[in-house]
Structure formats: C-alpha cells, structure tokens
Amino acid sequence: MTSSVCLVMVYIAVWLASAANTAQTPSDVVSDVTVVMGPEALKREKRVLAEGLATQGECDMMLDLAQVGVMPGEDGPFVYTDYESFEGMEVIQAAKLAQQGVVSVDSADKFLTLSEKARRFVHDYFGLQQELFFEYTHLVCRTAVTDSGSGRPQVDPSHKVHVDRCLLSYIDWSCSYQTELDQRHYSAVMFLNDDFKGGEFFFAHNATHNAQATVQPKCGRLVAFSSGPENPHGVQAVLQGRRCVLAMWYTLDKQHEELPRYEAREMVDSLLKPEGDQTNEKLKNEL
C-alpha cells in the first residue's frame, strides 16, 4: 500500500470520527424526548409522534394558565361546532397578563420555554438545514358544551379535516395557495391533558374525512408534521370535558416569523429579574 493511499485512509478515518462526534439527533438536543411513532406507524413521511416534551407539573402549569387566561376572539368565540367552545391565548397575551399580575410570571415563561423546546425538536428531527422560525403559537382549549347531550350528530368533528398551509377544497380536495397560510412549512401540537372524552388528533386519508392514523392526547406528547397537502388532519369531537394543547406553526421564511414572541420574552425576562436589578436598571435608564 502506497504512502499516499495510507494518508487518504487516515484522512477518511479522522473525518468519520469527527462526524460521529458532531452529528446531532433530536435526542442530543432534547435529551428527555422519545420518538414513539414515525412515518411507518403514522402512514406517511414527514410525520412524527414524540413523548417527554413536558412533565406533568409543566402540563398542569399550562392548564392553570389556560384556566385564567384563554379567551375568545375579539369578535366572540371562534366556533368550529355548536357543541364546543373554542378559546385561546398567544404568548404576548400571557406575558401581558403576567405583567398585570393576573397570571404567574413562571407560567408565562413556561409557555415560551415549552414551545421553544418543541421548535428545537421539530427542527432537528426533520434534519432541517436552515433556521426554523415560529409563525404562530397558540394555547388552545376546546370544551364540550355541557348541555349538548346525545343530540350531537355522529359526523361532527371538533375540527374538520384541513391543511395548515393552504385552503382545502371539499369539492375536489385541491389546495389553494397564495393565502395567509402559504408561509407555514411545519406544524406541531403538544398535548397537555387527557382527562376528557374524545378529542383525538388524526391524519386523514387524502380526499376523505376518514382517519388514516390517530393520536391519543397525553401530557407531554407531541405530534409534528410538514404543513402541506400531504398531511390533511383534524380533531375528533370533544364529547366531555376540556382538551388543551399548545398549537404551533413554523416557517422557514424569517420575514413571516412571530415577532410578538420577542416582545413577550423581553417582558417575561424583565419580570423574572430580582427587584434590585430592576431598580438599578431603572436608575441607569434615568441617568
């Protein structure tokens, strides 16, 4: 074997060792997260189900935050069905409520940190080479109307089959782009509880409302997927109780990132500072 060949082999060995040491998997970045279902079990590529994104204590903190802070839209409750109420909260709303003393600062901080943990997992699991930005983050609760009884139609989902990145036509199941949804590239849902009846997340067969793969909600469980027409999905009817999740949409286009997150993080960080630090900073700004 010539010296040049040996030298090449040494270079290759060094490169392989370096790659082995620097390569990252989702578990390298988020060590307590476990992938429990992948494309094979979920019936299509660009789908994953993971557990361990939140502890029971963290889920309880988010549920307490939802209990106080989620609210209907400015024009009244956003309704997908007459048999449920739908309410939500954005990160900036949580930060402002913390500033007002309505909710704890820790709960607003946890809202930000849990959603960021999910974003890092999604970015790394799907092996994205470019940055993944938040497009929108929403703490969402769907609550069964207590007096709906047995009158609810059998085919009446909590959220009918849809696609996150386009407007889905139920006539020919085609997608319309160039809408306010077009900037969404990946989506994720972190479940916060399971003490309700119904409310399963499902991926649908193309051109039908039928479930292809179903996910049972559970604290700390996350389902993530690409946002295009390859992943139509919906939510089964919530028949009893209240179902809460962190719903997150991501973009690869920095132009469309969720800018209020920066304001929310700044507000929360300011509230988390010791009182002495805040006083010093105030004096510094006055000088």
Q: Catalytic residue numbers?
A: 243
Q: How far is CA 136 from CA 35, 115, 190, 204, in A?
A: 24, 10, 14, 23
- What the block records as the tokens of 185 is 């590239």
Q: How many CA atoms lie within 13 A of 115 on its CB side?
A: 29
